[in-house]
Structure 1
Amino acid sequence: MVRKNRFILILVAAAIIIPFASSLVKLLTDWLFFSEIGNTEVFTTSLTAQTGSALLFGIFMFAFVLGNLKVANRVQIPHASEFIIGGSYRFNRADAERLVRPLTVASAAVLALIAGQWGAARWENALLFANRLTMGTNDPVLGKDLGFYFFSLPFLELLKGFAGFMLTATIVLIIAVYFVRGAILLTPRGVNVDEAARKHFAILVGLISLLLASGYYLESFGLLLDGRNTFHGAGYADVHARLLTLKVLVFLTPLAGIIVATGFWKGAWRMAVTPVIIVVAIHGVGMRVYPLLLQQFKVAPNELALETPYIENNIRFTRLGYDLDKIETIPFDVDQKLSTVDIANNDATIKNIRLWDHAPLLKTYSQLQQIRTYYKFYDVDNDRYMVNGSYSQVMLSPRELSYADLPSRNWINERLIFTHGNGITFGPVSRISKEGLPEFFVKDIPAVSLADIKVTRPEIYYGELSNDYVIVKTKIPEFSYPTATGNINTTYAGTGGVPMDSLWKKILFAARFKSEKILLSSDITAQSRIIYNRTIRERLKAAAPFLRFDNDPYMVVRKDGKLVWMVDAYTASDRLPYSTPLKGGVNYMRNSVKAVVDAYDGSVSFYISDPNDILIKTYARIFPKLFKPLSAMPDDLRSHVRYSHQFLQIQAAMFTAYHMTDPKTFYNKENLWQVPVLNEKTMEPYYTVMKLPGEKVEEYILLLPFTPSKRDNLAAWLTARCDGTNYGKIRAYTFPRDRLVYGPKQIDARINQDSFISQQLTLWSQRGSEVIRGSMLVIPIEKSLLYVQPLFLAAADKGGLPELKRVIVAFGDEVVMEENLELALQRLFSGKKVARAAATPVVGSTVSPATLAKEAMGIYEKAMTLQRQGDWAGYGEELRKLENVLKRMAQ
């Protein structure tokens, strides 16, 4: 029996200690992580807030529940029956009371523990409330500063929810105590409640009425966040019916509570029930029946007139919520007068038109530059660099280590030997080799630079594919990269990770990562360092858990050749009145932070890119050492800051409707736009280098076209600027509504209808090749638009290598397809039509001498161009083509 009790005690102790020990291990290793990145402020501030919130809510819960239970236990019950249950099962009340008293303390402790955990999880709400700011703008209905909705309202709702849970739990427990002690008896005539118990319940009922009144008060602010109307926010019926009802209930509910409490106190049950019925009736009529009648018989017949002020509110605050007010709308008087002179004047724009699509290029990079199966290119990033003195748009992909593809997966390989990726593949967006493959500025292992971009520290210890931890500087050399003669090893020389310089750290990390090998391995020395939180997203989320991070980190090569990751970070809220929410409920969002993570040492920096954001201002008050101004970012990083693709996509989705600022136009949806859909996929913003209308130099921008709703022609194009002091400026260029401007879908249809192009696509497909049509790009040049689409060919099997074989260019009513962009532009603008670059001619067809002469002239012009560029290999290839055409002419 004693052994059995000991076993039970051991199990209970383990159930309590193990979760606590696990939390302690995580807490200590988190502390070491924050110490490593030099940012203990976030750890200590958040831990203090969690502890304070847990104690505040836990102690208050314990005191309130235990106080009420003690009152219930001390009340004298003079006429309690001896047994709780009669018949075969007889339970003496005296025995029950002896059991109940210790259980009440245990119940209060359990509830306090639950409340403490709940409060600790709300630490961020508490900090935001304690450091709240005003925004300087009031809501248009209740007159509260918007800062109240962001910071105070969530915390007040939190307190209300806590009070509701506390009162409910307390009432349930004291009912149980009073029942056990005989203060509540079930008799044939009904329920008999002792006077002392009634008075106790009366006090709690009074508290419940105050809680309900506070709920109605907070609900009035919630009306401005509702979406029951055709627009988001409170409408006419909400303001003139529901809001009025809530104001009445805020005043009436406490009065009703006093009457109900008095009824409980005196035992006058009818007196206690009547006010409840009245409050429920007023709530039902005022919140449901009357608003529906008002909407149907008054608002619906006069909707535009009555709802106009509220539609204006929705427009104003939605534009505020997504920062749409900063979008400058400029008329764009499009024409078809583009000439060879214009093309020459916009040479930098032409050279930076992105021909390589991300998906085909990723596949091509993987086959050409992966080097070994355990390396992997996870993504292709788009950026701009000064390359050999020229401002160039480039595609860049880090070569990361794929642990799932290691030839031998064991603990030593995964944790001690294969610790990092190696280098990048880096090339221009538009240049193509004669085989249809990308050209490179940086390639291979070790990195070979074919331009003035150098990679001096190619090791990638922190990336998008990294495992959870590795241990470096051990007795076992780390694998660096393979060569033809053998593997090259290395030893980590950075400051990343936590030193394993004590036994307690080994024990700690062995527990954290559930691996006894960390503790037992003889290869780990006092100089060894454990590197964890290695994925970019995981590392940033650990360092700043209150921010949202973009799903697409991009790598930057610094001037000193080091590799760093840049990530866009966002602040968001669902508490902006009248603002239309996204699918997840967010109705306020800012790309307010640029985060930087060093790929070698894991150092983390946060720079504020939108100092006007009220949320980041508040977080900066809470964590004053965490954030730096964007002006403090080193110049070689600042030149690679780009406007967030994800954020512009969200802004564009909202701008399709909220570019209309006139309530009548908005209500009638007279000028509703949409983001174009091509091949059942919604177009996404794309980066390009171009000269904006009215500007003198090319710059790196993010661009997205719009079409009218349910139409295929273009309505406008949106551009976000990225460079220098123009960063963050957004323009919407609107086309005249009285003329047709072809949209991507219309150009796509014209491409499909072109007999020559469709013939070539069919021919290539019949030869066992997969034809991949790249993204349709709309490129504004001067006052005209060029449409560019690359064509890739790959073998039909999964291992096919995509090659960029043709480029389709459309301008005005003409569509051409050539081997490259230069030839296509020659055909369109030089006046000397270059013969179409055909695949194998159709059997039985004849080619006229005039056609062959034109083809020869086109090849000759291309050869001369390549000669001037110094491309002698390309020049020789064109001469061979010219020779073949001349032979065909001779025949």
Structure 2
Amino acid sequence: MNLKRTFKLIVVLLLLFLVFLGWGAHFYTDWLWFQSLGFQRVFLTIFISGWGMCLATAAIIFLVLFINLLLTRNTIIQAAASRPVNEGDVITISQPSWSKYARSGAITLLAALVSLIPAVLAGMALSDRWIIFQQFFHSTPFNIQDPVFNRDVSFYVFQLPLYQFVYRLLTGTLLLSILAVAGIYILAGGAQRNFSTILQNRTTRYHLSGLLAAFFLLRAWGYRLDQYHLLYSERGIVYGPGYTDIHANLLAYKILFVIALLAATVMILNVFLSRFRLVLFTLGAWLTASLILSGIYPVAVQKFIVVPTEREKEKPYIEQSIKFTRLAYNLNKVEKKTFPAGRRLTAQDVQDNRDTIENIRLWDYRPLQQTYSQLQEMRPYYELKNIDIDRYTIDGRYRQVMVAARELNQDQLPPQAKLWVNQHMEYTHGYGIAMSTVNEVTREGLPQFLVKDIPPTTHTDLKINRPQIYFGETTNNYVVVNTKSPEFDYPKGDENAWNTYEGEKGVHIGSPSRRILFALSFKDYRLLLAGGITSNSQVLYYRNIRDRVPKLMPFLTYDSDPYIVVASGKLYWIWDAYTTTDMFPYAEPYNHKLNYIRNAVKVVIDAYDGSVNFYLADQEDPIIQTYSKIFPGVFQPLSAMPAELKKHIRYPEDYFMIQARKYAVYHMEDYRVFYNKEDKWDIPTEIIEDKEKPMEAYYTITRLPGEREPEYIQIMPFVPQNKKNMVAWLAGRSDGENYGRLLVYEFPKQELVYGPMQIEARINQDTTISQQISLWDQRGSRVFRGNLLVIPVKDALLYVKPLYLQAEQSKMPELRRVIVVHGDRVVMEPSLAEALPKIFGANGEIPRTSEGEQQQNTTDNNQSVAQLASEASRLYDEAMERLKTGDWAGYGQSLKQLKSILDDLKSKAK
């Protein structure tokens, strides 16, 4: 029997040793990873803070529980003692069956174990709350005071969370102690068959009275904290305190604070008075006062005082909610301008704004994703996961482009190639990018690539000297580089090209001890058996940037779309990061998650070596200033970002959409208008594919009214609530000194400006367009309706919507039509270059400016016979292609254009 127990003990100890060893190996490899990136101080701060939080929390819970349980020890021993029991005429000596365990040492050990279990569990669960302690001790003032308690906002953001945490921790621990102690005394009384004896016991009376006194003292503190939480009230017509909160609930908390102190005093006096009824009366009085003051009284005030004159009663609170919400989302810095309604462009306006027209995005990222996959993935194991939108100066021209990183997805390797060596030592990285212009289309309706193929080729001045992508959005596994075996670089005909990693941001794994530790950490024994690892070998892990960056800075909130950038011949990821909180007073939350946000940080990740840099995009933000104090030297000024990268920072998508949704309501600054929601705006909808969906913000290059140069901006139109016409549009600026500025252009309220769904309706009502779409959908193909773009040109609006055609058996959508709407004209043509002259006349055409751009269908009188003949041949081929697809309208149009060319040839022949 002893041998069996010894064996079980050995097994348990061995398992515990392996668990600890695995944890220790993971800890050490994480330390090496942070060290390789130069973030070892961040690692130590997070580690010490997390464990400090865990130990402090566990210690508080353990001590409170253990001390209270120890105080019951004598009562338990007395309850276990032998005592005479009168059973009729017979007196017997009775002793509980568990009395043999009721020894002082055993009780102490049991109390320690019972206290330790919840302490450890709670400490581990709450260890990730370390940031609130660090924020408390490194807080930065906002220099904004709340109007109720006149405290700086930093109190609510950095200090109140810690007070609330400590209060909840102590209250929970104390209630657990009261329940445990009361249960023990009740059981002890049951064992002695005399509850009154236990309750009259001095130790019991002192103990329970002391615990209840401590509870009421804590509750009094809780009422003080509850007063501050009124600034986050959701009971009124606006977020934050209303009339009832200030004149009823606040008064209730102040009275209840006094009552709780009085109750604590009564509990202390009960130690000497020994009046159990007094305790019950005090508890009843407290509960009754809570019900009346916190429940009945506020309801009465709201119903009989506020409701009859609600708007005027709530006036100051509505104004404060508007003010603080605008501050929280940085809407107070939005610049307002007017935009004329009903203006018409001329052909000359189109020519004068060629930089805008040539950058209208005809490619929707959704169908383009499929097209990119078909044309540029090259091999099954390559994946162009996301299409990003950016701008570059290419051959001297400022152009908007679509770009995607060609990453390696090992899940797509052939089954026979999914060997450990292949997945961890040979297939280690993706290769290059694909880039196309946003508005150019080949004759086949496919994108016109600026950068394509493997190795990357381009006819522009863009250069990519380091195309390997070791770190990206799909690279999830670890790899070992600099081994004796070269790494697969890219396919090259019937052979492969090979490469060796030249970076220094990996962790060296050459020594046997490190291989053992990494094998334990990764839970992969094959790392120990792998050949080819040398003293120069490095292991690259946490390669997915969505894991890599948050592991370094877990307290930041990250944008949903990191994007790839070409700069100085290398590939980088730029990722926007936000500082957020849900504790900004008076500010209405967004999605119940946050009520303050700033785009405070730009994160740059080298796609080749994985190095990470954090740049401050908003140095005025108090939260990022606090983080800078916690982690000194981590955040660099934006001026330290390389100039080539700085050209690609942009107004981030998620931040812009949050601001747009909030501004749709909080542009109303007059309390009367806000109360009635007279001028509430909405995000418009549009038809995507064949469904109505909320419109997404979109980037474009345009020259804003009054500006001399075109710039990269993000746009979101607004429509009135429950209506479809457009009332304004919001612009987020991205270039140069204007970066981060928000502009809103409002239309005159008395004039009609078509909104996106009204334009969609006009498109649907056009018989030519609707017939063409119906015809395509009936002949083994599917029409995909892309984004509707509202493009500001000079002082007017141009609406552009692309149409894509995809055969049922194909996964490669082709851009086949462009719909342009301006004024009372709706036209659909094969290209934007053909659509504009239909609206603005021949002078509205876009001159051919780059190789591969689609030729215009209007001809110049000075064209040569050879050029005309070539154009005639092209139009004939186009007409035949349209005939095959059943595009009768397009077929007739091509014949008409062909006749015009033949007439020109005839005139030249004369």
> Normalization by structure 2: what TM-score?
0.91
Between stretches 370-379 and 165-174, larger displacement belongs to 165-174
The CA deviation string for residues 265-297 of structure 1, in whole angstroms up to 9 with x for no partner, is 532111111122111111111111111111111
Q: Secondary structure at the match of 2:812?
A: coil
In the other structure, the counterpart of 1:753 is 765
In the other structure, the counterpart of 1:854 is none
CA gap 1:392/1:669 in 2 versus in 1, 3 angstroms? same
In the other structure, the counterpart of 2:39 is 39
Q: Does 1:763 align with 2:760?
A: no
Question: 1: distance between equivalents of 2:372 and 2:428?
Answer: 22
Could you tell me which of 794, 802, 806 is aligned with 2:806?
794
Could you tell me which of 439, 455, 459 is aligned with 2:464?
455
Question: 2: distance between equivalents of 1:518 and 1:21?
Answer: 17
Question: 2: distance between equivalents of 1:105 and 1:689?
Answer: 68
Structure 1 stretches of 5 or more lacking a match?
835-857
In the other structure, the counterpart of 2:723 is 711
Q: How many residues align?
A: 864
For residue 186 of structure 1, report the CA deviation from its aligned partner.
4.5
CA gap 1:495/1:721 in 2 versus in 1, 3 angstroms? same
In the other structure, the counterpart of 1:626 is 634
The CA deviation string for residues 182-229 of structure 1, in whole angstroms up to 9 with x for no partner, is 698553879645221111222222111111111111111111112122
Q: How does 1:457-536 map to 2 (within 5 A)?
A: 457-536=466-545
CA gap 1:522/1:859 in 2 versus in 1, 3 angstroms? closer
Say whether the 8 Å CA contact 1:335–1:783 is kept in structure 2. no
Say whether the 8 Å CA contact 2:342–2:753 is kept in structure 1. no
CA gap 1:12/1:766 in 2 versus in 1, 3 angstroms? same
In the other structure, the counterpart of 1:52 is 52
1:756 corresponds to which letter in structure 2? T
For residue 230 of structure 1, report the CA deviation from its aligned partner.
2.0
Question: 1: distance between equivalents of 2:376 and 2:321?
Answer: 52
In the other structure, the counterpart of 2:353 is 346
CA gap 1:543/1:230 in 2 versus in 1, 3 angstroms? same
Q: Secondary structure at the match of 1:449?
A: coil
2:715 corresponds to which letter in structure 1? L
CA gap 1:10/1:83 in 2 versus in 1, 3 angstroms? farther
CA gap 1:191/1:873 in 2 versus in 1, 3 angstroms? farther
Q: Does 1:224 align with 2:231?
A: yes
2:289 corresponds to which letter in structure 1? I
Q: Secondary structure at the match of 1:367?
A: helix
For residue 175 of structure 1, report the CA deviation from its aligned partner.
4.1
In the other structure, the counterpart of 1:830 is 841
The CA deviation string for residues 433-455 of structure 1, in whole angstroms up to 9 with x for no partner, is 11111111111001111110011
Could you tell me which of 273, 281, 299 is aligned with 1:274?
281
Structure 2 stretches of 5 or more lacking a match?
86-91, 846-854, 878-893
In the other structure, the counterpart of 1:22 is 22
Q: Secondary structure at the match of 1:670?
A: coil
Question: 2: distance between equivalents of 1:633 and 1:365?
Answer: 31
In the other structure, the counterpart of 2:296 is 289
In the other structure, the counterpart of 1:382 is 389
Q: Secondary structure at the match of 1:440?
A: strand
In the other structure, the counterpart of 2:886 is none
Question: 1: distance between equivalents of 2:547 and 2:249?
Answer: 45
For residue 831 of structure 1, report the CA deviation from its aligned partner.
6.3
In the other structure, the counterpart of 1:850 is none
Q: Does 1:818 align with 2:829?
A: yes
For residue 83 of structure 1, report the CA deviation from its aligned partner.
7.2
Q: Does 1:674 align with 2:682?
A: yes
For residue 90 of structure 1, report the CA deviation from its aligned partner.
4.0
CA gap 1:284/1:176 in 2 versus in 1, 3 angstroms? closer
CA gap 1:92/1:482 in 2 versus in 1, 3 angstroms? closer
Q: Secondary structure at the match of 1:807?
A: strand
For residue 788 of structure 1, report the CA deviation from its aligned partner.
0.2
Say whether the 8 Å CA contact 1:673–1:707 is kept in structure 2. yes
Q: Does 1:209 align with 2:216?
A: yes
1:675 corresponds to which letter in structure 2? I
Q: Does 1:566 align with 2:574?
A: yes
For residue 832 of structure 1, report the CA deviation from its aligned partner.
8.3
1:587 corresponds to which letter in structure 2? N
In the other structure, the counterpart of 1:159 is 166
Question: 2: distance between equivalents of 1:283 and 1:365?
Answer: 65
In the other structure, the counterpart of 1:855 is none
In the other structure, the counterpart of 2:7 is 7
Q: Secondary structure at the match of 2:441?
A: coil
In the other structure, the counterpart of 1:130 is 137
The CA deviation string for residues 28-66 of structure 1, in whole angstroms up to 9 with x for no partner, is 111111111111111111112123223333333333333
For residue 13 of structure 1, report the CA deviation from its aligned partner.
2.5
CA gap 1:866/1:700 in 2 versus in 1, 3 angstroms? farther
Q: Does 1:358 align with 2:381?
A: no
Say whether the 8 Å CA contact 1:213–1:249 is kept in structure 2. yes
Q: How does 1:23-102 map to 2 (within 5 A)?
A: 23-73=23-73, 82=82, 90-93=96-99, 95-98=101-104, 99-102=106-109
Between stretches 634-643 and 480-489, larger displacement belongs to 480-489
Between stretches 610-619 and 596-605, larger displacement belongs to 610-619
Say whether the 8 Å CA contact 1:565–1:599 is kept in structure 2. yes
Q: Secondary structure at the match of 1:494?
A: coil
Q: Secondary structure at the match of 1:335?
A: coil
Question: 2: distance between equivalents of 1:614 and 1:859?
Answer: 55
CA gap 1:136/1:83 in 2 versus in 1, 3 angstroms? farther
Q: Does 1:418 align with 2:430?
A: no
> Normalization by structure 1: what TM-score?
0.92
Q: Secondary structure at the match of 2:505?
A: coil
For residue 18 of structure 1, report the CA deviation from its aligned partner.
4.2
1:22 corresponds to which letter in structure 2? G
CA gap 1:806/1:466 in 2 versus in 1, 3 angstroms? same
For residue 315 of structure 1, report the CA deviation from its aligned partner.
0.5
Between stretches 880-889 and 318-327, larger displacement belongs to 880-889
Between stretches 734-743 and 276-285, larger displacement belongs to 276-285
Question: 2: distance between equivalents of 1:169 and 1:20?
Answer: 30
Question: 1: distance between equivalents of 2:264 and 2:638?
Answer: 55
1:73 corresponds to which letter in structure 2? R
The CA deviation string for residues 570-603 of structure 1, in whole angstroms up to 9 with x for no partner, is 1111101111111233111111110000000000
For residue 8 of structure 1, report the CA deviation from its aligned partner.
2.9
CA gap 1:862/1:84 in 2 versus in 1, 3 angstroms? farther
Could you tell me which of 623, 628, 641 is aligned with 1:615?
623
For residue 106 of structure 1, report the CA deviation from its aligned partner.
2.4
CA gap 1:771/1:183 in 2 versus in 1, 3 angstroms? closer
In the other structure, the counterpart of 1:885 is 899
Say whether the 8 Å CA contact 1:440–1:450 is kept in structure 2. no
Question: 2: distance between equivalents of 1:764 and 1:87?
Answer: 99
For residue 100 of structure 1, report the CA deviation from its aligned partner.
1.8
Could you tell me which of 370, 375, 398 is aligned with 1:368?
375
Q: Does 1:324 align with 2:321?
A: no
Say whether the 8 Å CA contact 1:262–1:272 is kept in structure 2. no
For residue 179 of structure 1, report the CA deviation from its aligned partner.
5.8
1:715 corresponds to which letter in structure 2? V
Q: Does 1:809 align with 2:816?
A: no
For residue 181 of structure 1, report the CA deviation from its aligned partner.
6.3
For residue 169 of structure 1, report the CA deviation from its aligned partner.
3.2
Q: How does 1:97-112 map to 2 (within 5 A)?
A: 97-98=103-104, 99-112=106-119
Say what the alpha-carbon RMSD is for the aligned residues: 2.7
In the other structure, the counterpart of 1:605 is 613
CA gap 1:766/1:63 in 2 versus in 1, 3 angstroms? closer
In the other structure, the counterpart of 1:309 is 316
1:565 corresponds to which letter in structure 2? W
Question: 2: distance between equivalents of 1:648 and 1:387?
Answer: 27
Question: 2: distance between equivalents of 1:309 and 1:713?
Answer: 32
Query: What percentage of residue pairs aligned between the two structures are identical?
Result: 40
Could you tell me which of 426, 437, 452 is aligned with 2:446?
437
Say whether the 8 Å CA contact 1:260–1:272 is kept in structure 2. yes
Q: Secondary structure at the match of 1:122?
A: helix
In the other structure, the counterpart of 2:858 is 861
Q: Secondary structure at the match of 1:257?
A: helix
Q: Does 1:398 align with 2:405?
A: yes
Say whether the 8 Å CA contact 2:374–2:811 is kept in structure 1. no
Question: 2: distance between equivalents of 1:34 and 1:138?
Answer: 39
CA gap 1:361/1:614 in 2 versus in 1, 3 angstroms? same
In the other structure, the counterpart of 2:705 is 693
For residue 180 of structure 1, report the CA deviation from its aligned partner.
6.8
For residue 879 of structure 1, report the CA deviation from its aligned partner.
8.6
